[in-house]
Homo-oligomer: A and B are copies of this chain.
């Protein structure tokens, strides 16, 4: 049985894109679309999660991601508790499971979990009680499913249908939870072709099994694509000599105007942020007319609202 779904096929936890049916991903996108109009209004609140408590359980610092979940929860009228686990209960020797049991006993309804270890969100989801939902806000190299869904939302918003699209994911595939989640989402939603472009040293050995076409050169991989998903160079996650230098990486894999010209004329450029200007992407591209990097951020709030509301049973029917 899928840990993420309840017995009626409804979303209960949101841990990974892998294994979720296409109908459910589409339902997330449709629900996000309905919230999308709300957050553009002066009163950006809906009362769907009033009286519910959402806990941001961040074992790895990320103000940016935490902020998007905090805003999404507040716009659903939930109460939000931010717990920086590095500096709290572990100080007194409390174990993770005891911390979770305590927060559950306090009648918290949802844990948004960020952790440097792959599988941390699944581990937590397996141990929470029946009334609690877990959202993965990024675990190690494994998954970052809300990021992938906001990318899908942005692609659908700009391109309509997934079927005719060729999408290229560029950069440090090896260390990227975003890449893994994007590949699963694109394939589940039926994208025409999913490409990855990276040096051999930044590609996991089994990458083709995920259903992608591998390119080692930008000049080949970007040809006629509809969507370019740049990845952030995760300097903090790279060990040893996998990479010659940032300058060399930029020379070979940085997205500049010349390379962008290889893609289709109306191709869009995405990036999960924060961008490293001059490392993965030229500023004129990041800030240019093809860039949808800031719309991605806006859509991220709507998508997180959708996932939270669905996991708490506040919207939606079984997909």
Docked Cα-Cα span, A93 to B236, in Å, equals 12
Q: Are A51 and B43 in contact (CB under 8 A)?
A: yes
A105 partner residues in chain B, CB cutoff 8 A: 294-295, 297-298
The one of B45, B63, B108, B276 in contact with A50, judged by C-beta atoms closer than 8 angstroms, is B45
Kindly state whether residue A34 has any CB partner on chain B within 8 Å: no
Q: Are B81 and A67 in contact (CB under 8 A)?
A: yes
Q: Are B276 and A106 in contact (CB under 8 A)?
A: no
Q: Are A64 and B89 in contact (CB under 8 A)?
A: yes
Kindly state whether residue A252 has any CB partner on chain B within 8 Å: no
A94 partner residues in chain B, CB cutoff 8 A: 64, 273-275
Kindly state whether residue A44 has any CB partner on chain B within 8 Å: yes
The one of B41, B61, B87, B107 in contact with A51, judged by C-beta atoms closer than 8 angstroms, is B41
A104 partner residues in chain B, CB cutoff 8 A: 294
Q: Are A274 and B93 in contact (CB under 8 A)?
A: yes
The one of B42, B70, B276 in contact with A93, judged by C-beta atoms closer than 8 angstroms, is B276
Q: Which of A70, A79, A83, A92 has the most CB of B within 10 A?
A: A92
Range for the number of chain A residues in contact with chain B: 35 or more
A61 partner residues in chain B, CB cutoff 8 A: 87-88, 91
Docked Cα-Cα span, A87 to B4, in Å, equals 34
Q: Are A274 and B71 in contact (CB under 8 A)?
A: no
Docked Cα-Cα span, A276 to B94, in Å, equals 7
* CB of A249 to closest CB in B, whole Å: 15
Kindly state whether residue A101 has any CB partner on chain B within 8 Å: yes
Given contacts A106-B68, A275-B98, contact A50 B43 (CB under 8 A): yes
Kindly state whether residue A285 has any CB partner on chain B within 8 Å: no
* CB of A219 to closest CB in B, whole Å: 28
Q: Are A42 and B51 in contact (CB under 8 A)?
A: yes
Q: Are A67 and B98 in contact (CB under 8 A)?
A: no
Docked Cα-Cα span, A274 to B274, in Å, equals 37
Q: Are B63 and A52 in contact (CB under 8 A)?
A: no
- CB under 8 Å from chain B, chain A span 16-46: 39-45
The one of B45, B101, B295 in contact with A294, judged by C-beta atoms closer than 8 angstroms, is B101
A91 partner residues in chain B, CB cutoff 8 A: 61
Kindly state whether residue A307 has any CB partner on chain B within 8 Å: no
Against B, the Cβ 8 Å flags (1 = close, 0 = not) of A69-89 are 011001100010101000111
A298 partner residues in chain B, CB cutoff 8 A: 105-107
Docked Cα-Cα span, A131 to B295, in Å, equals 16
Kindly state whether residue A53 has any CB partner on chain B within 8 Å: yes
Q: List 29 A-B contacts (CB under 8 A).
A: A42-B52, A43-B51, A44-B52, A44-B53, A51-B75, A53-B74, A61-B91, A63-B87, A63-B88, A63-B89, A68-B106, A70-B81, A71-B81, A74-B79, A89-B274, A93-B274, A94-B275, A95-B277, A101-B294, A102-B273, A102-B274, A102-B294, A105-B297, A105-B298, A106-B297, A106-B298, A106-B301, A107-B298, A107-B301
Other contacts beyond A67-B81, A71-B81, A75-B79: 18, CB < 8 A: A39-B107, A40-B107, A43-B52, A44-B51, A44-B53, A44-B107, A61-B87, A64-B102, A71-B106, A71-B107, A94-B273, A94-B275, A98-B273, A98-B274, A102-B297, A105-B295, A106-B298, A107-B301
